[in-house]
Amino acid sequence: MKHKGIVCGILAAVCYGTNPFGALPLYEEGVNTSSVLFYRFSMAVLMLAVMLIVERKSFRISGRELKTHGSLGVLFAASSITYYQSFRFMDAGIASTILFVYPVMVAVIMATCFREKVTARAVTAIILALAGIGLLYRGDAGVTLSATGVLLVMVSSLTYAVYIVVVNQSSIRMSSLKLTFYVLLICMFSLLAYSFTSPDLHLMLPPSPRAWFFACWLGLVPTVLSLVLMTVAVHEVGATPTAIMGALEPLTAVAIGVMVFDESLTLRLVIGIVLILSAVLLIVLGKNFHLRTISHAINVIVRKTWRWKS
């Protein structure tokens, strides 16, 4: 497995996981979700355009390329809209947990449609990642899940999985910057059109310099950097490994919650983190990483955490 793809896949997941750092302050200032999404993508498009101009890259694309980029843009917009709309029917923590069934969807699509062999190592990594992500969720016991909310998140997961597969299978070869620019441009216009069809999702300007800063953060780190790095990773190591490394996204969000928003670090979270890291290491190190290593790591971390809590 190529080291460049592994590094890009890990960095893409970590960058995407910084979404809460940008989104939560905007919500605190009263910016609605459709505006957060629109400014996230419009800022990203502006940044990418500047990068392409500085590098003197051509903006010209063929009709076939535009068709592929259009499909990717609509898929990403659909994934974003359904994900954020699910927050109206369920807790965001539950939604983010359910969302990460997309590595399973990617593996199934690649196996059934493109005859990609799904190894026992990949299956084990997916199970570990899902178990770890489940432990990261901290919700109220006895909460009833909304069928509408679950459906929206599943649609979001599926459209994102298809997005990754299309990037992987596309025969178009251009710079990751240019590809991401056109995908996000179409995504931005899709979100703008959607906001006009939904009166309750009107666009509003960021109300302060602080809000503009976090809008720029969302455009740069979890959007531009994440998608460019993810595109490189998919081309280098494949769709399924990249999707599994995406399990680092919620882990990063939890780390930000603990370090920035003073959330508590519990034994449950520590075990979830170890499981997710084990899943990623299982993909990164391949045959050199064994299941008994996972068991030993969990036992050590649990014992040390228990002593620390005591």
pLDDT tens by residue, 239-264:
888 888 877 777 777 777 777 767 67
Residue 173 has pLDDT above 80, yes or no: no
Q: pLDDT for 86-105, tens place per residue?
A: 877 876 666 777 787 888 88
Residue 308 has pLDDT above 50, yes or no: no
Task: Choose between 269 and 59: higher pLDDT.
Answer: 59
Q: Please state, in angstroms and rounded to a whole number, the distance separating the CA atoms of residues 128 and 248.
A: 12
Residue-level pLDDT at 144: 60
Buried b (16+ CB within 10 A) or exposed e, 56-91: eeeeebeeebeebbbbbbbbbbbbbbbbbbbbebbb
The set of residues, in sequence order, having a beta carbon less than 8 Å from that of 49 and lying 6+ positions away, is: 181
Instruction: Report the range out of 158-172, 193-207, 285-299 with the highest average pLDDT.
Output: 158-172
Q: What is the DSSP letter of 222?
A: I
Residue-level pLDDT at 309: 46
- In Å, what is the CA distance from 99 to each residue of 126, 223, 300? 13, 17, 30
**Are 187 and 159 in contact, with CB atoms under 8 Å apart?**
no
**Are 106 and 161 in contact, with CB atoms under 8 Å apart?**
yes
The lowest-confidence range among 93-102, 162-171, 226-235 is 93-102
Residue-level pLDDT at 185: 93
- Amino acid making up residue 97: T
Residue 212 has pLDDT above 70, yes or no: yes
DSSP H stretches of helix in 100-175: 102-114, 120-136, 147-169
The set of residues, in sequence order, having a beta carbon less than 8 Å from that of 113 and lying 6+ positions away, is: 165
**Are 89 and 148 in contact, with CB atoms under 8 Å apart?**
yes
Domain count, the chain: 1
Buried b (16+ CB within 10 A) or exposed e, 122-142: bebbbebbbebbebbbeeeee
The lowest-confidence range among 127-131, 139-143, 277-281 is 139-143
Neighbours of 47 (CB within 10 A): 19
What SS3 class is residue 105?
A: helix
Residue 229 has pLDDT above 80, yes or no: yes
- Amino acid making up residue 130: L
Query: pTM, whole model, 2 decimals?
Result: 0.76
Residue 292 has pLDDT above 80, yes or no: no
Residue 53 has pLDDT above 90, yes or no: yes
The crossing angle, in degrees rounded to 10, of helices 63-86 and 33-54 is 150
Residue 284 has pLDDT above 70, yes or no: no
Residue-level pLDDT at 286: 62
Residue 260 belongs to what domain range? 3-309
Q: Please state, in angstroms and rounded to a whole number, the distance separating the CA atoms of residues 15 and 24.
A: 16
- In Å, what is the CA distance from 110 to each residue of 115, 116, 136? 6, 5, 28
**Are 181 and 52 in contact, with CB atoms under 8 Å apart?**
yes
State the chain's mean pLDDT as an integer. Answer: 79
Phi, psi of 244 (to 5 degrees): -65, -40
| Residue entry with tokens 């240019």 | 178
